[in-house]
Structure 1
């Protein structure tokens, strides 16, 4: 069974939702048969790479609230994150473009360390003091820690076209599937779960999707030759 997760590194609910989903998946009896694929979704796709500002100021402008109200929201998110065992800095964080990070995540997928890099990016953005925005060497460090070749990371970052279409393709697909926000979870292209739901909801979704998997329908094969565990049939005559 495949679970695809559309998310953005700048999305705090994606950070929390990933932890809740992983809690459900960890207790799922068939977890070893579940493939998890991370898909790209930028909350701010038109933001320039050098357009970086404090989170509270960005939230206040975007949602028409005071910075005090924005900070109160951050405090609430901090409590939600703590309940999942996640560190969360409620002040002093930056907001910026995540496009390069998504491109690196596609590179990391090819190298088999996509989930590790995503976890490091979330932790760096939400729990650590040094910003992940506007600092390519910071991304090189995180990519290297995830298991990527540092020179390979630098090549991707130096080429704005590298994996750009992969990011855009994910975003188009999210729109086609009806995703209007993230996190957005799609189970076997049959069920969708929107938002950072409680672990119990993910458990129910995993169980239902697993139980309702369609068995493969075989067409009559007549007397066609085939190979099996005992070898291949040898035509007679």
Structure 2
């Protein structure tokens, strides 16, 4: 059975949601028979490639808050991350365009290293002092994930490489009704929005395994579970 996950590296609830999904998957009896595919979703596709700014400044501007209020928002997200055993820096992170990261993730998918690169990119963005909006950092992450350095550099140098694949993922998300991320689709039958608790993912996997045929929201979760929506707004 296939599980598809639409997400963006810039989305903190995608980082947290991935950890929760993996815990839910670990509790599922047929976990060895699940194929997980990560798909592209840009929270801010109109942002210029070189437009990089501190996350706290971006949050303050977006929500009309002071920097201290933005720090409190980040602290709340960090608390959720820490509860899942994830490191999360509330200071010193950058925000920017994620299109190149998504293109590189499609290369990694072809090479069987997608999950490895995604984990490294999340860690670099949210837990380490490494900007994922820098080409050299992305190359190093690709190599750490097991990709060929020259091939990764070639993809980043060619702005058209895997661009169609990224756009196709985004169109498909819209067709499925995903207006925010993380968004999970189980066997093209069930949809789950937001960073739900691990047990909700386990229940959803069990339901999908039974072979029901209609794509519908899975019950038992919080309909208002935190997520980042299509215009880049992240719940805090």
CA distance in 1, matches of 2:62, 2:160: 29
CA offsets 1:53-100 (integer angstroms, 9 cap, x no match): 010111122222222222111001111001000000011110011100
CA distance in 2, matches of 1:191, 1:213: 9
- Tell me what 2:222 maps to: none
C-alpha displacement at 1:179, in angstroms?
A: 0.5
Output aligned runs, 1:112-127, within 5 Å.
112-127=112-127
- Tell me what 1:86 maps to: 86
C-alpha displacement at 1:213, in angstroms?
A: 5.0
- Tell me what 1:101 maps to: 101
TM-score (structure 1 length as normaliser) = 0.88
- Tell me what 1:71 maps to: 71
CA distance in 2, matches of 1:63, 1:173: 29
CA distance in 2, matches of 1:183, 1:79: 18
1:169 aligns with 2:168: yes
Which deviates more from structure 2 when the two are superposed, residues 21-30 or residues 66-75? Answer: 66-75
CA distance in 1, matches of 2:211, 2:65: 45
- Tell me what 1:204 maps to: 203
CA distance in 2, matches of 1:129, 1:166: 29
- Tell me what 1:49 maps to: 49
CA distance in 2, matches of 1:119, 1:209: 26
CA offsets 1:15-52 (integer angstroms, 9 cap, x no match): 00000000011121101111100000000101111100
CA distance in 2, matches of 1:94, 1:86: 18
1:32 aligns with 2:32: yes
- Aligned-residue RMSD, C-alpha: 0.9
Contact 2:189 2:212 survives alignment (8 Å): no
C-alpha displacement at 1:131, in angstroms?
A: 1.4
- Tell me what 1:195 maps to: 194
Contact 2:23 2:198 survives alignment (8 Å): yes
CA offsets 1:113-170 (integer angstroms, 9 cap, x no match): 001000000000000012121x211111000000000000000000000000100010
- Consecutive unaligned residues of structure 1, counting only runs of 5 or more, are 215-237
- Tell me what 2:129 maps to: 129
Aligned length: 213
Residue aligned with 2:185, SS:
strand
Q: Which runs of 4+ in 1 moved over 3 A?
A: none
CA distance in 2, matches of 1:84, 1:149: 32
CA distance in 2, matches of 1:71, 1:109: 35
CA distance in 2, matches of 1:99, 1:68: 30
Contact 2:57 2:67 survives alignment (8 Å): yes
